[in-house]
Amino acid sequence: MSTIPHITLNNGVRIPQLGFGVFQVPDAETTPAVASALDAGYRSIDTAAIYGNEKGVGAALADSGIAREDLFVTTKLWNADQGYDATLKAFDESLAKLGLDHVDLYLIHWPTPARDLYLDTWRALERLAADGRIRAAGVSNFQPDHLRRLLDHSSLVPAVNQIELHPGLQQRELRALHGELGIATEAWSPLAQGALLGEDAIVSVAAAHGRSPAQVVLRWHLQLGNVVIPKSVTPSRIRENLDVFDFTLSDDEMTAIGALDRGLRTGPDPDTLN
């Protein structure tokens, strides 16, 4: 079983650099998928209230027998629940579904700028952090302007910004800003949901290393310092995606993949999703 490296967040909490995502996995299928991931060696699981599978995640965690302190559980506050009181209530509901007494990372799922509630929502996350109910507070899909505005109103710097990030959407500006502010970059849809796995640049690097295209893309992320949370419901792929710690891409290979950047969004634009 491979050893997954950790990244130390700005509050000292350590997050596994590679975790397991469960977006679009129905609740009943989530339990066997997460069980398969835990069995393969994953210890970090990324869910969200809107995925409707926090119960399925919680069941797999409980069945695993793995000590709570060896697990890293992330969930996210849905847009409709933004606002101070609504956030605290939604958090309680997520925790109950997960069957946990705290989560390791809680994220504001989207900024939804037109609602203009993310500052109030962030105050609720500050409270949850102060109460020890979340080990780290973070955001997701925040653009540079949203991060700067948040920090104009709060001294709590998000530990993480989870953003769409893959070779087709490399997010150079946000990654640089995260570096300046001390925010860890977490990549969602790290495999672009499979859309780039046939790209010549990726296929040829994969062939050179005797690896799969997905492994090469994950390796590219890891070498950039990103936290990644690939999703799969296929046990062989679940194992394959974890088997990425015993080879290294050269600078030329990193550059060749870097050339695939083209503003490719597989999901919504955070400036307009409300």
Report the catalytic residues.
51
**Is residue 75 close enough to count as binding ligand NDP by CB under 6 A?**
no
**Is residue 235 close enough to count as binding ligand NDP by CB under 6 A?**
no
Binding-site string for ligand NDP from residue 12 to residue 51, where x marks contact by CB under 6 A and - marks none: ---------xxx----------------------x-----
**Is residue 241 close enough to count as binding ligand NDP by CB under 6 A?**
yes
Of the candidates 13, 229, 249, 260, which one interacts with ligand NDP according to CB under 6 A? 229
CB of 169 to ligand NDP, least distance (A): 11
Stretches 59-67, 127-135, 235-243, 250-258: which one binds ligand NDP (CB under 6 A)?
235-243
**Is residue 185 close enough to count as binding ligand NDP by CB under 6 A?**
no
Binding-site string for ligand NDP from residue 155 to residue 184, where x marks contact by CB under 6 A and - marks none: -------x----------------------
In order, the DSSP letters of the chain are -PPPPEEE-TTS-EEESB-EE-TT--HHHHHHHHHHHHHHT--EEE--GGGT-HHHHHHHHHHH---GGG-EEEEEE-GGG-SHHHHHHHHHHHHHHHT-S-EEEEEE----TTT--HHHHHHHHHHHHHTTSEEEEEEES--HHHHHHHHHH-S---SEEEEE-BTTB--HHHHHHHHHHT-EEEEESTTGGGTTTT-HHHHHHHHHHT--HHHHHHHHHHHHT-EE----S-HHHHHHTT--SS----HHHHHHHHTT-S---SS--TTT--
CB of 84 to ligand NDP, least distance (A): 22
CB of 217 to ligand NDP, least distance (A): 8
* Residue at shortest CB range from ligand NDP: 21
**Is residue 79 close enough to count as binding ligand NDP by CB under 6 A?**
no
**Residues in touch with ligand NDP (CB under 6 A):** 21-23, 46, 109, 140-141, 162, 188-194, 197, 212, 214, 229-234, 237, 240-241, 267
